[in-house]
Structure 1
Protein backbone atom coordinates (compact mmCIF):
# COMPACT_ATOMS: atom_id res chain seq x y z
CA UNK A 1 0.00 0.00 0.00
CA UNK A 2 1.38 3.40 -0.93
CA UNK A 3 1.23 6.68 0.95
CA UNK A 4 2.07 10.25 0.08
CA UNK A 5 1.99 13.71 1.58
CA UNK A 6 -1.28 15.45 0.95
CA UNK A 7 -1.40 18.93 -0.47
CA UNK A 8 -1.60 21.82 1.99
CA UNK A 9 -5.02 22.85 0.64
CA UNK A 10 -6.40 19.45 1.65
CA UNK A 11 -5.52 20.24 5.27
CA UNK A 12 -6.78 23.83 5.00
CA UNK A 13 -10.13 22.59 3.63
CA UNK A 14 -10.62 20.06 6.45
CA UNK A 15 -9.72 22.67 9.03
CA UNK A 16 -12.08 25.24 7.49
CA UNK A 17 -14.89 22.70 7.49
CA UNK A 18 -14.43 22.05 11.20
CA UNK A 19 -13.81 25.68 12.12
CA UNK A 20 -16.81 26.96 10.17
CA UNK A 21 -19.03 24.50 11.98
CA UNK A 22 -17.52 25.70 15.29
CA UNK A 23 -19.10 29.13 14.79
CA UNK A 24 -22.56 27.80 14.00
CA UNK A 25 -23.08 24.93 16.41
CA UNK A 26 -23.93 24.51 20.05
CA UNK A 27 -21.73 21.38 20.01
CA UNK A 28 -18.54 22.30 18.13
CA UNK A 29 -16.19 19.82 16.53
CA UNK A 30 -14.03 18.46 19.36
CA UNK A 31 -11.87 15.49 20.32
CA UNK A 32 -10.25 14.09 23.45
CA UNK A 33 -6.52 14.62 24.04
CA UNK A 34 -4.82 12.36 26.57
CA UNK A 35 -2.01 13.86 28.61
CA UNK A 36 1.16 11.94 29.60
CA UNK A 37 0.01 11.86 33.23
CA UNK A 38 -3.10 9.88 32.26
CA UNK A 39 -5.48 12.83 32.39
CA UNK A 40 -6.82 14.62 29.40
CA UNK A 41 -8.84 17.44 27.97
CA UNK A 42 -11.37 18.16 25.28
CA UNK A 43 -9.89 20.21 22.43
CA UNK A 44 -12.11 22.15 20.04
CA UNK A 45 -10.99 22.73 16.47
CA UNK A 46 -12.22 26.32 16.38
CA UNK A 47 -10.01 27.32 19.31
CA UNK A 48 -6.79 26.94 17.29
CA UNK A 49 -7.23 25.95 13.64
CA UNK A 50 -3.46 26.04 13.02
CA UNK A 51 -2.85 23.52 15.79
CA UNK A 52 -5.47 21.14 14.36
CA UNK A 53 -3.95 21.42 10.88
CA UNK A 54 -0.44 20.76 12.24
CA UNK A 55 -1.70 17.67 14.04
CA UNK A 56 -3.22 16.33 10.81
CA UNK A 57 -0.37 17.18 8.46
CA UNK A 58 2.47 16.08 10.75
CA UNK A 59 0.74 12.73 11.23
CA UNK A 60 0.58 12.42 7.45
CA UNK A 61 4.33 13.17 7.35
CA UNK A 62 4.99 10.62 10.10
CA UNK A 63 3.10 7.97 8.13
CA UNK A 64 4.91 8.66 4.86
CA UNK A 65 8.30 8.72 6.65
CA UNK A 66 7.50 5.34 8.22
CA UNK A 67 6.37 3.90 4.90
CA UNK A 68 9.39 5.26 3.00
CA UNK A 69 12.22 5.58 5.54
CA UNK A 70 14.87 6.10 2.84
CA UNK A 71 13.19 9.27 1.53
CA UNK A 72 14.32 12.61 2.99
CA UNK A 73 12.67 15.98 3.46
CA UNK A 74 11.78 17.58 0.14
CA UNK A 75 11.91 14.22 -1.66
CA UNK A 76 9.02 12.33 -0.09
CA UNK A 77 6.07 11.23 -2.25
CA UNK A 78 3.61 14.09 -2.59
CA UNK A 79 3.83 17.71 -3.72
CA UNK A 80 7.24 18.34 -5.32
CA UNK A 81 9.72 19.96 -2.96
CA UNK A 82 7.44 19.93 0.09
CA UNK A 83 9.72 19.89 3.15
CA UNK A 84 9.21 18.50 6.62
CA UNK A 85 9.76 22.02 8.04
CA UNK A 86 6.89 23.42 5.96
CA UNK A 87 4.60 20.76 7.37
CA UNK A 88 5.78 21.17 10.96
CA UNK A 89 5.35 24.97 10.77
CA UNK A 90 1.85 24.79 9.27
CA UNK A 91 -0.36 27.79 9.93
CA UNK A 92 -3.95 27.74 8.76
CA UNK A 93 -4.80 29.80 5.67
CA UNK A 94 -8.46 30.16 4.72
CA UNK A 95 -8.86 28.38 1.37
CA UNK A 96 -11.94 30.41 0.45
CA UNK A 97 -14.19 27.37 0.18
CA UNK A 98 -16.05 25.26 2.71
CA UNK A 99 -16.46 21.56 1.98
CA UNK A 100 -19.92 20.07 1.95
CA UNK A 101 -20.47 17.35 4.55
CA UNK A 102 -20.07 14.64 1.89
CA UNK A 103 -16.87 16.24 0.56
CA UNK A 104 -15.56 16.43 4.14
CA UNK A 105 -16.25 12.72 4.70
CA UNK A 106 -14.39 11.86 1.50
CA UNK A 107 -11.49 14.18 2.43
CA UNK A 108 -11.25 12.50 5.85
CA UNK A 109 -11.14 9.03 4.30
CA UNK A 110 -8.44 10.14 1.86
CA UNK A 111 -6.29 11.70 4.61
CA UNK A 112 -6.75 8.63 6.80
CA UNK A 113 -5.53 6.42 3.92
CA UNK A 114 -2.38 8.54 3.63
CA UNK A 115 -1.77 8.77 7.38
CA UNK A 116 -2.38 5.25 8.69
CA UNK A 117 0.98 3.61 7.92
CA UNK A 118 2.20 3.41 11.51
CA UNK A 119 1.31 0.75 14.04
CA UNK A 120 -0.04 3.29 16.53
CA UNK A 121 -2.10 5.51 14.18
CA UNK A 122 -5.38 4.70 15.96
CA UNK A 123 -3.82 5.90 19.24
CA UNK A 124 -2.74 9.26 17.81
CA UNK A 125 -4.44 12.62 18.19
CA UNK A 126 -4.68 13.00 14.40
CA UNK A 127 -6.82 9.87 14.23
CA UNK A 128 -9.20 11.42 16.77
CA UNK A 129 -9.34 14.70 14.79
CA UNK A 130 -10.12 12.87 11.54
CA UNK A 131 -12.68 10.66 13.26
CA UNK A 132 -14.37 13.65 14.95
CA UNK A 133 -14.46 15.58 11.66
CA UNK A 134 -15.95 12.64 9.79
CA UNK A 135 -18.57 11.95 12.47
CA UNK A 136 -19.43 15.64 12.60
CA UNK A 137 -19.90 15.70 8.81
CA UNK A 138 -22.15 12.63 8.97
CA UNK A 139 -24.39 14.40 11.51
CA UNK A 140 -24.73 17.32 9.06
CA UNK A 141 -25.95 15.18 6.15
CA UNK A 142 -29.57 15.84 5.22
CA UNK A 143 -32.29 13.32 5.87
CA UNK A 144 -33.53 11.24 8.72
CA UNK A 145 -31.08 9.18 10.70
CA UNK A 146 -33.75 6.62 11.42
CA UNK A 147 -34.73 5.12 14.75
CA UNK A 148 -32.31 4.11 17.45
CA UNK A 149 -32.61 0.39 16.77
CA UNK A 150 -34.77 -0.87 13.94
CA UNK A 151 -37.96 -2.92 14.41
CA UNK A 152 -40.46 -4.38 11.96
CA UNK A 153 -42.82 -1.52 12.90
CA UNK A 154 -40.17 1.08 11.95
CA UNK A 155 -39.70 -0.55 8.57
CA UNK A 156 -43.45 -0.72 7.94
CA UNK A 157 -43.82 2.96 8.83
CA UNK A 158 -41.00 3.86 6.44
CA UNK A 159 -42.54 1.85 3.60
CA UNK A 160 -45.95 3.54 3.78
CA UNK A 161 -44.89 7.03 2.57
CA UNK A 162 -42.82 5.55 -0.25
CA UNK A 163 -45.63 3.25 -1.38
CA UNK A 164 -48.11 6.13 -1.27
CA UNK A 165 -45.77 8.32 -3.33
CA UNK A 166 -45.18 5.53 -5.87
CA UNK A 167 -48.91 4.89 -6.19
CA UNK A 168 -49.65 8.59 -6.70
CA UNK A 169 -46.84 8.96 -9.24
CA UNK A 170 -47.96 5.91 -11.19
CA UNK A 171 -51.59 7.12 -11.18
CA UNK A 172 -50.63 10.47 -12.70
CA UNK A 173 -47.86 9.25 -14.96
CA UNK A 174 -45.24 11.30 -13.11
Structure 2
Protein backbone atom coordinates (compact mmCIF):
# COMPACT_ATOMS: atom_id res chain seq x y z
CA UNK A 1 0.00 0.00 0.00
CA UNK A 2 1.34 3.45 -0.77
CA UNK A 3 1.14 6.44 1.55
CA UNK A 4 -1.64 8.18 -0.36
CA UNK A 5 -4.10 5.49 0.77
CA UNK A 6 -3.45 6.15 4.45
CA UNK A 7 -5.68 8.50 6.40
CA UNK A 8 -5.05 10.61 9.50
CA UNK A 9 -6.84 10.58 12.83
CA UNK A 10 -5.94 13.12 15.52
CA UNK A 11 -6.94 12.78 19.16
CA UNK A 12 -6.18 14.70 22.35
CA UNK A 13 -6.73 12.95 25.66
CA UNK A 14 -4.32 14.35 28.19
CA UNK A 15 -0.67 13.38 28.25
CA UNK A 16 0.32 12.16 24.81
CA UNK A 17 2.70 9.61 26.36
CA UNK A 18 -0.33 7.69 27.59
CA UNK A 19 -2.28 8.03 24.35
CA UNK A 20 0.31 6.42 22.05
CA UNK A 21 0.54 2.94 23.54
CA UNK A 22 -3.15 1.92 23.16
CA UNK A 23 -3.00 2.56 19.40
CA UNK A 24 0.58 1.67 18.60
CA UNK A 25 0.40 -2.04 17.90
CA UNK A 26 -3.06 -2.37 16.35
CA UNK A 27 -3.17 -3.88 12.85
CA UNK A 28 -3.85 -1.20 10.26
CA UNK A 29 -2.11 1.56 12.20
CA UNK A 30 1.06 2.57 10.41
CA UNK A 31 2.36 5.24 12.80
CA UNK A 32 1.39 7.13 15.96
CA UNK A 33 3.07 10.49 16.50
CA UNK A 34 3.01 12.66 19.62
CA UNK A 35 2.59 16.36 18.99
CA UNK A 36 0.69 19.58 19.42
CA UNK A 37 -2.34 20.96 17.62
CA UNK A 38 -5.21 23.40 17.93
CA UNK A 39 -3.13 26.48 18.63
CA UNK A 40 -2.19 29.62 16.81
CA UNK A 41 1.62 29.75 16.75
CA UNK A 42 3.66 27.61 14.38
CA UNK A 43 5.99 24.87 15.61
CA UNK A 44 5.51 25.25 19.38
CA UNK A 45 7.77 23.57 21.90
CA UNK A 46 6.69 21.40 24.82
CA UNK A 47 7.68 24.16 27.21
CA UNK A 48 5.54 26.71 25.34
CA UNK A 49 2.51 24.42 25.10
CA UNK A 50 2.53 23.53 28.80
CA UNK A 51 2.24 27.21 29.73
CA UNK A 52 -1.31 27.06 28.37
CA UNK A 53 -0.81 30.29 26.42
CA UNK A 54 -0.36 28.95 22.87
CA UNK A 55 -3.82 27.44 22.44
CA UNK A 56 -2.31 24.06 21.59
CA UNK A 57 -3.16 20.76 23.18
CA UNK A 58 -1.02 17.66 23.45
CA UNK A 59 -2.31 15.19 20.90
CA UNK A 60 -1.47 12.14 18.87
CA UNK A 61 -1.77 11.82 15.14
CA UNK A 62 -2.40 8.37 13.73
CA UNK A 63 -1.60 7.33 10.20
CA UNK A 64 -3.88 4.38 9.41
CA UNK A 65 -5.06 2.13 6.62
CA UNK A 66 -8.86 2.47 6.38
CA UNK A 67 -9.03 -0.91 4.65
CA UNK A 68 -7.72 -2.56 7.84
CA UNK A 69 -9.17 -0.37 10.60
CA UNK A 70 -11.99 2.14 10.43
CA UNK A 71 -12.21 5.62 11.89
CA UNK A 72 -15.19 4.34 13.93
CA UNK A 73 -12.93 1.73 15.54
CA UNK A 74 -10.27 4.35 16.28
CA UNK A 75 -12.86 6.58 17.97
CA UNK A 76 -14.01 3.67 20.13
CA UNK A 77 -10.42 3.01 21.21
CA UNK A 78 -10.00 6.74 21.88
CA UNK A 79 -13.00 6.95 24.23
CA UNK A 80 -11.62 4.09 26.31
CA UNK A 81 -8.39 6.01 27.02
CA UNK A 82 -10.05 9.13 28.39
CA UNK A 83 -12.40 10.60 30.94
CA UNK A 84 -14.88 12.21 28.53
CA UNK A 85 -16.53 14.11 31.39
CA UNK A 86 -13.48 16.23 32.28
CA UNK A 87 -12.99 19.33 30.11
CA UNK A 88 -10.24 20.76 32.34
CA UNK A 89 -7.61 18.19 31.50
CA UNK A 90 -7.20 14.47 31.95
CA UNK A 91 -6.37 12.79 35.23
CA UNK A 92 -3.31 14.41 36.88
CA UNK A 93 -2.70 16.61 33.82
CA UNK A 94 -4.66 19.82 34.20
CA UNK A 95 -5.21 22.78 31.93
CA UNK A 96 -6.22 23.53 28.37
CA UNK A 97 -3.19 21.81 26.86
CA UNK A 98 -4.56 18.49 28.18
CA UNK A 99 -8.24 18.84 27.23
CA UNK A 100 -10.00 15.96 25.44
CA UNK A 101 -10.67 16.55 21.74
CA UNK A 102 -11.45 14.51 18.66
CA UNK A 103 -10.03 16.47 15.72
CA UNK A 104 -11.66 15.65 12.39
CA UNK A 105 -9.92 15.82 9.02
CA UNK A 106 -13.05 15.64 6.84
CA UNK A 107 -16.84 15.74 7.09
CA UNK A 108 -17.15 11.96 7.33
CA UNK A 109 -14.86 11.88 10.38
CA UNK A 110 -16.87 14.73 11.91
CA UNK A 111 -20.14 12.83 11.42
CA UNK A 112 -18.66 9.62 12.85
CA UNK A 113 -17.27 11.44 15.90
CA UNK A 114 -20.56 13.24 16.55
CA UNK A 115 -22.57 10.02 16.25
CA UNK A 116 -20.18 8.18 18.54
CA UNK A 117 -20.35 10.95 21.13
CA UNK A 118 -24.15 10.89 20.99
CA UNK A 119 -24.15 7.12 21.47
CA UNK A 120 -21.87 7.49 24.49
CA UNK A 121 -24.08 10.24 25.93
CA UNK A 122 -27.18 8.09 25.53
CA UNK A 123 -25.51 4.98 26.96
CA UNK A 124 -25.79 6.16 30.55
CA UNK A 125 -22.23 4.96 31.22
CA UNK A 126 -21.39 8.31 32.85
CA UNK A 127 -23.56 10.41 35.15
CA UNK A 128 -21.78 13.63 34.17
CA UNK A 129 -22.15 15.18 30.68
CA UNK A 130 -19.76 14.12 27.92
CA UNK A 131 -17.64 17.24 27.35
CA UNK A 132 -15.06 16.00 24.84
CA UNK A 133 -15.13 18.45 21.96
CA UNK A 134 -15.12 17.64 18.25
CA UNK A 135 -13.10 20.19 16.32
CA UNK A 136 -11.72 20.66 12.84
CA UNK A 137 -8.09 19.58 12.60
CA UNK A 138 -5.53 22.35 12.59
CA UNK A 139 -1.84 22.02 11.73
CA UNK A 140 -0.17 19.27 13.73
CA UNK A 141 3.37 19.82 14.99
CA UNK A 142 5.46 16.81 15.93
CA UNK A 143 6.68 16.88 19.53
CA UNK A 144 10.34 16.69 20.42
CA UNK A 145 12.00 13.32 19.79
CA UNK A 146 12.24 12.40 23.48
CA UNK A 147 8.40 12.38 23.62
CA UNK A 148 8.02 9.94 20.72
CA UNK A 149 7.27 6.33 21.78
CA UNK A 150 7.91 7.29 25.39
CA UNK A 151 6.36 4.10 26.69
CA UNK A 152 9.10 2.16 24.87
CA UNK A 153 11.97 4.50 25.80
CA UNK A 154 11.15 4.70 29.51
CA UNK A 155 8.82 1.77 30.26
CA UNK A 156 9.16 1.86 34.04
CA UNK A 157 8.52 5.61 34.28
CA UNK A 158 5.67 5.33 31.78
CA UNK A 159 3.93 2.58 33.79
CA UNK A 160 4.36 4.50 37.05
CA UNK A 161 3.05 7.69 35.44
CA UNK A 162 0.09 5.93 33.81
CA UNK A 163 -0.89 4.45 37.17
CA UNK A 164 0.05 7.41 39.37
CA UNK A 165 -1.84 9.92 37.23
CA UNK A 166 -5.06 8.04 37.86
CA UNK A 167 -5.52 7.09 34.21
CA UNK A 168 -5.01 3.33 34.60
CA UNK A 169 -7.44 3.09 37.51
CA UNK A 170 -10.09 5.18 35.77
CA UNK A 171 -9.88 3.06 32.64
CA UNK A 172 -10.12 -0.12 34.67
CA UNK A 173 -13.09 1.14 36.67
CA UNK A 174 -15.01 2.77 33.83
CA UNK A 175 -14.12 1.07 30.58
CA UNK A 176 -13.14 -2.55 31.21
TM-score bin, normalised by smaller chain: under 0.3
CA radius of gyration, larger in:
1
| TM-score under structure 1 length normalisation | 0.27
TM-score norm. by structure 2 comes to 0.27
